C-alpha cells in the first residue's frame, strides 16, 4: 500500500450517490473498454459470472448502492466508502464486518496505466465481481476476522497471503490457468503477463510458502501462486491460518525474487 497519495476520495450525498465529473466518467469508460475484452478471455468463470450479476455500467462510474444491492443479495456483503488510503486496522475491521473498502476516487490520465493506491476502478472492477461468489466471500470474511485479531507483526504476514490470493492469484480451471486476483484483473499489462509471459514463476499455492514470500507493489510480479480449484478458497478459510503464520515466522522469509527498490536521493 502506498504511504501517501495525491488523490482525495469524493463524498456521497444522503442517498449514497457521488457526483462524478464528465472527465472521471470518461476515464472509467476507457479503462472498462480496454480491460473487458482481456478479462473475458483470461478471468475465471466465477469472476465473469460476478461481472454479469453486477451489471457494471460501461460509460460511467457505478454507484456503490447499486453494487451493494447485488452483493447483499448474493453473499451478505456490501461496499464501504473510504478515503484514498486506510490503515491495516481499518481494512481488517471492514472485512470482518463484510464491508469491502472502496476508495471513491479514480486515477488521473497521467497514471492511466498504473497507480500504486487502489482506486474505484481497481476495487469495483477488480474485486467486487468475486464478492458475489460464496467461496471468495467466505475466505475474505475469514481473513478479515483473523487480521482484526492479529498483532501488528502477524498482519504483515497475513498481507502476503492476501497479496498472493485476492490480489494476484491464479487458479486451475479444467487444466487451464485463469485469473482471479483483482490486482491482475484491473491491469491490462499484468492480465496478459500473468498468463503468457515466460518470465514469472508459477507455483501451486501452499499457504506457508505464500506467507514467507516477499513482494513489491510497483513491479510486474515475479511469482504467482495457483489455486488447485476455485472452491479451494473454502478449504483455505477453514485451515488454521494463524498456526501457519507462526510456522512461517519460525522458518523465515524467502529470498526476494526482485531487486531492492531504488532509494530516492534527497
Handedness of CA 105, 111, 117, 119 (dihedral sign): positive
pLDDT tens for each residue of 214-242: 999 999 999 999 999 999 999 999 999 99
Mean pLDDT of 73-96: 96
**Distance between CA 161 and CA 167 in Å, rounded?**
9
Consult the annotation and say whether 167 binds a ligand. yes
Residue 266 in domain: no
The confidence score (pLDDT) of residue 2 equals: 53
- Percent with pLDDT over 90 in the chain: 92
Above 90 in pLDDT, residue 258? Answer: yes
3-state secondary structure of 103: strand
127 carries an active-site annotation: yes
The confidence score (pLDDT) of residue 82 equals: 97
Q: pLDDT category, 72, cuts 50, 70, 90?
A: very high
Three cell numbers written together for 182: 483483482
Consult the annotation and say whether 122 binds a ligand. yes
**201, 103 contact by CB (below 8 A):** no
186 carries an active-site annotation: yes
Residue 1 in domain: no
Mean pLDDT of 201-205: 98
Mean pLDDT over the full length of the chain: 96
Residue 83 in domain: yes
The confidence score (pLDDT) of residue 114 equals: 84
Torsion of Cα atoms, 44 then 46 then 52 then 53, to 10°: -160
Rg of the chain in Å (alpha carbons)? 18
| Domain of 44, in residue numbers | 22-251
Residue 2 in domain: no
**177, 161 contact by CB (below 8 A):** no
Residue 14 in domain: no
167 carries an active-site annotation: yes
Residue 13 in domain: no
Q: What is the pTM of this model?
A: 0.95
203 carries an active-site annotation: no
Q: pLDDT category, 3, cuts 50, 70, 90?
A: low
Residue 134 in domain: yes
Consult the annotation and say whether 138 binds a ligand. no
Q: Which of 117, 127, 187, 190 is catalytic?
A: 127
Mean pLDDT of 18-33: 98
Mean pLDDT of 80-107: 96
Residue 15 in domain: no
Give the total number of structural domains in the chain: 1
The confidence score (pLDDT) of residue 261 equals: 83
Q: Which of 122, 123, 187, 190 is catalytic?
A: 122
**Distance between CA 77 and CA 137 in Å, rounded?**
8
The confidence score (pLDDT) of residue 263 equals: 62
Q: pLDDT category, 265, cuts 50, 70, 90?
A: very low
Q: What is the CATH number of the domain that holds 84?
A: 1.10.800.10
Q: How far is CA 87 from CA 83, 92, 102, 156, 173, in A?
A: 10, 9, 13, 12, 34
The confidence score (pLDDT) of residue 266 equals: 45
pLDDT tens for each residue of 154-199: 999 999 999 999 999 999 999 999 999 999 999 999 999 999 999 9
Amino acid at each position: 500500500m502506498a504511504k501517501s497519495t495525491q488523490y482525495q476520495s469524493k463524498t456521497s450525498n444522503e442517498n449514497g450517490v457521488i457526483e462524478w465529473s464528465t472527465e472521471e466518467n470518461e476515464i472509467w469508460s476507457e479503462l472498462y473498454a480496454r480491460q473487458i475484452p482481456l478479462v473475458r478471455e483470461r478471468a475465471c468463470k466465477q469472476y465473469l459470472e460476478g461481472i454479469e450479476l453486477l451489471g457494471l455500467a460501461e460509460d460511467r462510474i457505478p454507484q456503490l448502492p447499486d453494487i451493494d444491492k447485488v452483493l447483499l443479495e448474493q453473499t451478505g456483503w456490501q461496499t464501504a466508502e473510504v478515503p484514498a488510503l486506510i490503515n491495516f486496522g481499518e481494512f481488517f475491521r471492514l472485512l470482518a464486518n463484510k464491508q469491502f473498502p472502496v476508495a471513491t476516487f479514480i486515477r488521473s490520465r497521467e497514471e492511466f496505466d498504473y497507480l500504486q493506491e487502489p482506486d474505484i476502478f481497481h476495487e469495483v472492477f477488480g474485486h467486487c465481481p468475486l464478492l458475489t461468489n460464496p467461496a471468495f466471500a467466505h475466505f475474505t470474511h475469514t481473513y478479515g476476522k483473523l487480521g482484526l485479531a492479529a498483532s501488528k507483526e502477524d498482519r504483515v504476514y497475513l498481507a502476503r497471503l492476501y497479496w498472493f490470493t485476492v490480489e494476484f492469484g491464479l487458479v486451475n480451471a479444467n487444466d487451464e490457468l485463469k485469473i482471479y486476483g483483482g490486482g491482475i484483473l484491473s491491469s491490462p499489462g499484468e492480465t496478459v503477463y500473468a498468463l503468457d509471459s515466460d518470465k514469472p514463476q508459477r507455483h501451486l499455492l501452499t499457504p506457508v510458502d505464500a506467507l514467507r514470500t516477499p513482494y513489491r507493489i510497483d513491479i510486474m510480479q515475479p511469482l504467482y501462486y495457483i489455486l488447485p480449484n476455485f472452491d479451494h478458497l473454502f478449504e483455505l478459510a477453514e485451515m488454521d491460518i494463524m498456526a501457519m503464520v507462526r510456522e512461517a515466522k519460525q522458518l523465515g522469509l524467502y529470498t526476494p525474487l526482485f531487486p531492492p527498490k531504488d532509494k530516492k536521493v534527497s
